[in-house]
Amino acid sequence: MKLRHLVLSLAAVLAAPYAISAPGACSGKAPSGELTATRIAAANSTRGEPGLYEGPVWIKDALYFSDFTFSPGFPSRILKLDSEGKVSTLIDDSGSNGLATDGKGNLLAGTHKYKSVSRYTLDGKRSDVVSQFNGNVFNSPNDLTLAADGTLYFSDPDFQRDAAPGGQDKTRVYRVATDGKVTVVDDTLKNPNGVSLSPKGDVLYVNGMVGDHGVLRAYPIVNGVPQQGKNLVEKLGIPDGMAIDCQGNIYVTEHTDKRLRVFTPAGKQIATIKVDANVTNAAFGGADGKTLYITGAGAVWQLKLDVTGSPY
């Protein structure tokens, strides 16, 4: 593993990470069988050009997500869906893809516009969290997750590499410690995408491509450091973002298959959740943390479940 130091320490930025699972005991039944999520009509895209919603994150009483198009530079904004079903623009030119939260009510974002992981306050102020590895900017940071101790993990595929000059020689998964040290977790996946942690923070999950098929890979975390990854699920469709429920089940989106498949921590499939367009990501939210929100091609879907889960 190669180690590099950042100019900016993460200690202040990520001092109070968001809990991976909802507080209190985990109860309820995991989903099973075939389910269908429902569109939230108010969130249907009004753009006149193709694009995607991405990176949902639930903060307090609202869902935040990225909305980017395929125009040159992949222009992006961050939208807010409040508890009354109203959609508004929070940040008009965010350059963002995946979102998370730092536990202080601020957004963390994979920002292809800046080729970095950024921190956004809810009044739109941006700062870099991590912007380089080995003296070069990243390709197009995509999905990200934050451990309880403030350690940041993110994927860096090349999907939006052309948004700005520069990039890395490989697509990778990175670990960023709170002191700013950057470590390569994996550089063998082609375009790693979804990144999530188990509820206890003892397993890192990443999906991506190996050859012509997708895989879900699990990395045991020992003393805070991910170990060698092992394929938990193989022969996925094109995998995208993921969510984790409080029981540790993994909800993997399969982009062009227009579905999520739910797997136990042992890799057994227990449910399929269908949507009616290409799908990108998912997160738990709502007043009780039991609503699964799903983003995709100009749409947000919701599905009421019996378990809580991670808010991004």
The two tokens of residue 223 are 């003393």
Residue 21 pLDDT > 50: no
Nearest to 251 by CA among 26, 30, 2: 30
Annotated binding site for a divalent metal cation: 54, 193, 240
pLDDT band of 29, cuts 50, 70, 90: very high
Q: In angstroms, rounded to a whole number, what is the distance separating the alpha carbons of residues 97 and 137?
A: 16
pLDDT at 118 over 80: yes
Give CA angle at 18 (297, 203), nearest 5°.
80
Given this model, what pLDDT does residue 19 score? 44
Q: Which of 143, 186, 240, 257 is catalytic?
A: 240
- Tell me whether residue 61 is one of the annotated catalytic residues: no
pTM of the model: 0.92
Q: In the CATH scheme, what architecture does the domain 3-27+54-245 have?
A: 6 Propeller (2.120)
Per residue in 209-218, pLDDT tens? 999 999 999 9
Mean pLDDT value across residues 239-252: 98
pLDDT value of position 156: 96
Q: Is the pLDDT of residue 9 over 60?
A: no
Binding residues: 54, 142, 193, 240
Angle at 44 between CA 40 and CA 48, to 5 degrees: 175
pLDDT for the residue numbered 24: 53
pLDDT at 25: 72
- Annotated binding-site residues for substrate read 142
- Percent of the chain scoring above 90 in pLDDT: 80
pLDDT of 20 > 50? The answer is no
- What is the three-class DSSP state of 274? strand
Strand 126-130 relative to strand 116-120, pairing: antiparallel
pLDDT tens-digit readout, 145-191: 999 999 999 999 988 888 888 889 999 999 999 999 999 999 999 99
> Mean per-residue pLDDT for 265-289?
97
